[in-house]
């Protein structure tokens, strides 16, 4: 087995590490405090071509794999998970249905502006009564001459207020439950589509999460992704990819917290010596370092399987549930090592602690991930 990255991947990693240190980390605290849209940083990320990293070259992208995207996500998330998510969500979740199920016309229309960073994309699936079970969604897509009329509200839509490309899921036949869900791709300025409530979140400040309201919103038939009733499959395929990148994001947050804790433990003096000399601190740091390595390896394995065209759903779920729980463990221990200072906003570990929690929840909770893993191992066994 080869655990080494390719030379090209190592160059990408080194370049993004340097970029994140110089361009993202210095503004991360300000973005967290003000919750402002990091427009300058998003433009700099776009200028590196990252919004086209996995987009095929014929549509203006680099045509690279999920491993490469995970490398990028980890490095950016280490500096700011909120800023990283503008790339991660738009590229690994929202635009995936267009890349995998779009017609040639849809790809030509939506992929080049996304690859150039000109237009972000959002993914509108969740509703007030339809979270882990999309079959309960209330949003409807009613057949009309030449297309569909969509009505309904979507919640927790990350970058819903900033994205100009919207991938939305609605039911064309509620009696069929999950078999009645259909996917659509549309422009943000479509009449009848508006932005509603902005969520006030515990963490990921600077990353907007909004309600999207669809009121008699007409979508031409050529904007449908796939066939009627294929929407849940399309939604889940995108989620499988994005869950791998959440593993990378959680690993990046973990790295930031671990590095901060290690540095602090070497500097902080108590009882006449650095607290890094005490076994209790050493054991915490050892566990943190070990679990971060394991999280990264699980994530890269899932990404590698995807890039090889091999089954990866179970491995994606394993990477997400493990890396996200590691992130919560590591950020908790990092805060503990900082003691009272860790509970203040003078040190970044409290931000890491707040940002880490959502990785156990969005795009499939840890409980849903365990159900996915269990189904796979029982079927395989």
pLDDT mean over 220-242: 97
Whether residues 45 and 100 share a domain: the answer is yes
**In this structure, are 238 and 225 located in the same domain?**
no
Q: What is the pLDDT of residues 127-173, one digit of tens each?
A: 999 888 888 899 999 999 999 999 999 999 999 999 999 999 999 99
89, 157: one domain: no
Whether residues 211 and 263 share a domain: the answer is: no
Please count the other Cβ atoms lying within 10 Å of the Cβ belonging to residue 273: 10
Q: Is residue 334 part of a domain?
A: yes
> Of 115, 137, 155, which marks where a domain is finished?
115
| Structural domain includes residue 1 | no
Q: Tell me: do 136 and 255 sit in the same domain.
A: no
Provide the number of structural domains found in the chain.
3
- 165 and 286 housed in the same domain: no
Same domain, 55 and 184: no
Query: What CATH number does residue 156 fall under?
Result: 2.40.110.10
Express each pLDDT in 326-343 by its tens digit.
Answer: 999 999 999 999 999 999
Residues 66 and 307: beta-carbon distance below 8 Å = yes
Which residues, 6+ apart, have CB-to-CB distance to 58 below 8 Å? none
Rounded to two decimals, the pTM is 0.96
- 157 contact partners, CB below 8 Å, separation of at least 6: 122, 123, 124, 126, 209, 210, 211, 212
Mean pLDDT of 241-270: 98
Say if residue 109 is in the same domain as residue 128. no
**Residue 2 domain flag:** no
CA 5, 7, 13, 14 dihedral sign is: positive
Contacts of 189 (CB under 8 A, 6+ apart): 164
Residue 193 forms beta bridges with which residues? 214
Indicate which residue of 315, 363, 367, 380 is catalytic: 363
With 80 as the cut, is the pLDDT of residue 181 above it? yes
- Whether 127 is catalytic is no
- State the pLDDT at residue 1: 67
pLDDT > 70: percent of the chain:
100
Q: How far apart are CA 92 and CA 66, in angstroms?
A: 8
In terms of DSSP H, where are the helices of the chain? 7-19, 25-34, 39-47, 66-79, 81-89, 96-101, 104-115, 231-267, 279-307, 313-338, 349-357, 366-380
Question: Are 363 and 282 members of one domain?
Answer: yes
**Domain housing 214:** 121-229
Domain boundary among 229, 244, 274: 229
98 close to 167: Cβ distance less than 8 angstroms: yes
Do residues 264 and 375 share a domain?
Answer: yes
**Which domain CATH number covers 246?**
1.20.140.10
Give dist(CA 60, CA 91) in Å, integer.
14
Q: Which residue, of 174, 205, 229, is where some domain finishes?
A: 229
pLDDT, position 123:
98
pLDDT average, residue stretch 313-323? 98
**Same domain for 315 and 255:** yes
Does any domain span residue 199?
A: yes
Residues 26 and 143 in one domain: no
Residue 204 resides in a domain: yes
User: Is residue 223 within 8 Å of residue 183, measured between CB atoms?
Assistant: no
DSSP label at 21?
I
Q: What is the pLDDT of residues 76-133, one digit of tens each?
A: 999 999 999 999 999 999 999 999 999 999 999 999 999 999 999 999 999 999 888 8
pLDDT, tens digit (0-9, with 9 covering 90-100), for 264-294? 999 999 999 999 999 999 999 999 999 999 9
Identify the three-state secondary structure at position 271: coil
């Amino acid at each position: 087995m080869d655990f080494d990255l390719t030379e090209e991947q190592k160059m990408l990693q080194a370049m993004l590490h340097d970029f994140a240190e110089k361009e993202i980390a210095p503004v991360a605290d300000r973005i967290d405090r003000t919750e402002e849209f990091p427009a300058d940083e998003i433009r700099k990320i776009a200028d590196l071509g990252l919004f086209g990293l996995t987009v095929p070259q014929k549509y203006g992208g680099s045509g690279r794999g999920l491993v490469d995207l995970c490398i990028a996500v980890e490095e950016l998330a280490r500096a700011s998970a909120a800023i990283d998510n503008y790339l991660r969500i738009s590229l690994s979740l929202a635009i995936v249905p267009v890349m995998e199920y779009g017609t040639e016309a849809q790809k030509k229309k939506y992929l080049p502006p996304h690859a150039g960073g000109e237009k972000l994309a959002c993914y509108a699936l969740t509703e007030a009564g339809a979270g882990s079970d999309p079959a309960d969604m209330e949003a409807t897509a009613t057949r009309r001459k030449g297309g569909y009329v969509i009505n309904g509200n979507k919640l927790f839509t990350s970058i819903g207020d900033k994205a100009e490309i919207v991938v939305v899921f609605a039911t064309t036949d509620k009696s069929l439950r999950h078999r009645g869900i259909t996917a659509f791709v549309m422009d943000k300025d479509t009449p009848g589509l508006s932005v509603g409530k902005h969520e006030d979140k515990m963490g990921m400040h600077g990353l907007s999460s909004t309600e999207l309201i669809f009121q008699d919103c007409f979508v031409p038939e050529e904007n449908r992704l796939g066939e009627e009733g294929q929407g849940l499959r399309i939604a889940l395929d995108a989620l499988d990819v994005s869950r791998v990148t959440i593993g990378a994001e959680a690993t990046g947050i973990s790295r930031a917290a671990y590095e901060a804790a290690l540095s602090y433990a070497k500097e902080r003096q108590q009882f006449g010596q650095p607290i890094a000399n005490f076994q209790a601190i050493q054991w915490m740091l050892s566990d943190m370092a070990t679990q971060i390595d394991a999280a990264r390896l699980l994530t890269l394995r899932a990404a590698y399987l995807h890039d090889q065209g091999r089954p990866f759903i179970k491995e994606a779920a394993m990477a997400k549930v493990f890396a996200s729980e590691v992130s919560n463990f590591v950020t908790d221990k990092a805060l503990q090592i900082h003691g009272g200072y860790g509970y203040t906003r003078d040190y970044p570990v409290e931000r890491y602690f707040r940002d880490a929690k959502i990785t156990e929840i969005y795009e499939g909770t840890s409980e849903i991930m365990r159900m996915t893993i269990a189904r796979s191992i029982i079927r395989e066994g």
